[in-house]
Structure 1
Amino acid sequence: MKQVSTLFLKITVIIMGIPVLALCIFALPRLAKVAIEHAANGDTLGYIVLSILIVMYVATIPFYLALYQTLKLLSYIEKDQAFSQMSVIALKKIKNCAKTISGLYVVILPLVYIVAEWDDAPGLILLGMVIIGASFAVAVFASVLQRLLQKAIDIKEENDLTV
């Protein structure tokens, strides 16, 4: 049963990465092409959109690192090594990746506001805030799990020493 649930979670993690990869391969280059054309014509909005796209591409690096660490954590669970220091390290890396993503999107949110005002699209700001909130929630959740897991490991080691 445990193998089935971890397999399901692994497939879910992989499926989470596919839309971001598709976005990076198909949608963002098209937007970059249009932004470059605007920037070549001297339009400052083109430079703003290019800055946003660059940060979005940079944010995919910690996103995929976090997905990789999640897959490693699930493999530790499959091997009955969930209560190990390796799991704590994986959770710490997930937390740091989520904080990095949140920080990157906080930095570009004012630029997104400028684009949203120009294009009269307030949904862009909402989308940016959802990404910030979701990655911040992942960071908080990973931090709580990291602390709980570390305490459980400490208690287990203490019990092993007393017996």
Structure 2
Amino acid sequence: MKRSSIGFLKGTVFLIAVIILGLCVIWLPDLATEAASQNPEYAYLKIPVLLGVYITAIPFYFALYQALKLLTYIKTDRAFSEFAVASLSYIKMCALSIISIYSIGMVILFFQHALHPGVAIIGTVIIFATAVISFFSAVLEELLRSALVLKTENDLTV
């Protein structure tokens, strides 16, 4: 893969990180304040919901970091290594933790009768998108493991 492609992909990862950080810092608190003022009976959920979203940002940024490491491995011709397999495994685990946190949050909101249909749709989209990422990284991880086994066998062949 050309170096310019790797640079473009790294720039895209940084752009995603900056956009999500801006949304978390600027847009999300304003949205929560507005929602709390429009629905005062659910205002007590403002802080727990914000904390839940901010907690999911931690594995999200860790997965972005792992993606950057994976791009670095590709750039330095170490794409077929145990390091790349570990990065894909971490991305898969981050995706599963995001799915878990959002699922638990939506169940809690449902039992509190505070799960607005718009919030449910957004949460479901996030869960399914993250499930696709988790599945894709798991498939790539197994594919890379198989390639490493074949590479090792090929290297040992005289």
C-alpha displacement of 1:144? 0.4
- Aligned with residue 143 of structure 2, among 129, 133, 148: 148
**2:61 is matched with which residue?**
64
69-78 or 18-27: bigger deviation: 18-27
What is the rounded CA distance, in whole Å, between the counterparts of 2:83 and 2:144 in structure 1? 11
Q: CA RMSD in A?
A: 2.2
Q: Deviation per CA, 1:104-145, whole angstroms, max 9, x where unpaired?
A: 1111113177241xxxxx222111101001111101100000
Please state whether the residue corresponding to 2:77 is helix, strand or coil.
coil
TM-score with structure 2 setting the length: 0.88
What is the rounded CA distance, in whole Å, between the counterparts of 1:33 and 1:136 in structure 2? 30
Summarize the Cα distance change of 1:137–1:2 in structure 2 as closer, same or farther, 3 Å threshold. same
C-alpha displacement of 1:20? 1.2
Identity %: 43
Contact kept in structure 2, 1:35 and 1:47, CA below 8 Å: no
Contact kept in structure 1, 2:36 and 2:42, CA below 8 Å: no
- Aligned with residue 131 of structure 1, among 108, 126, 130: 126
C-alpha displacement of 1:15? 1.2
**1:86 is matched with which residue?**
83
The 5-angstrom pairing of residues 38-57 of structure 1 reads 45-57=42-54
Contact kept in structure 1, 2:106 and 2:115, CA below 8 Å: no
TM-score with structure 1 setting the length: 0.86
Q: Deviation per CA, 1:29-77, whole angstroms, max 9, x where unpaired?
A: 3345567889xxxx55122232211110000000000000000000000
Q: Matched residue pairs, number?
A: 155
What is the rounded CA distance, in whole Å, between the counterparts of 1:28 and 1:140 in structure 2? 28
Structure 2: which amino acid aligns with 1:70? Answer: A
**1:105 is matched with which residue?**
102
What is the rounded CA distance, in whole Å, between the counterparts of 1:68 and 1:12 in structure 2? 12
Alignment pair present for 1:18 and 2:18: yes
Q: Which runs of 5 or more residues in structure 1 are unaligned?
A: 117-121
Q: Deviation per CA, 1:10-35, whole angstroms, max 9, x where unpaired?
A: 11111111221011211233345567
Q: Deviation per CA, 1:69-92, whole angstroms, max 9, x where unpaired?
A: 000000000001000000000000
Q: Which runs of 5 or more residues in structure 2 are unaligned?
A: none
Please state whether the residue corresponding to 1:114 is helix, strand or coil.
coil
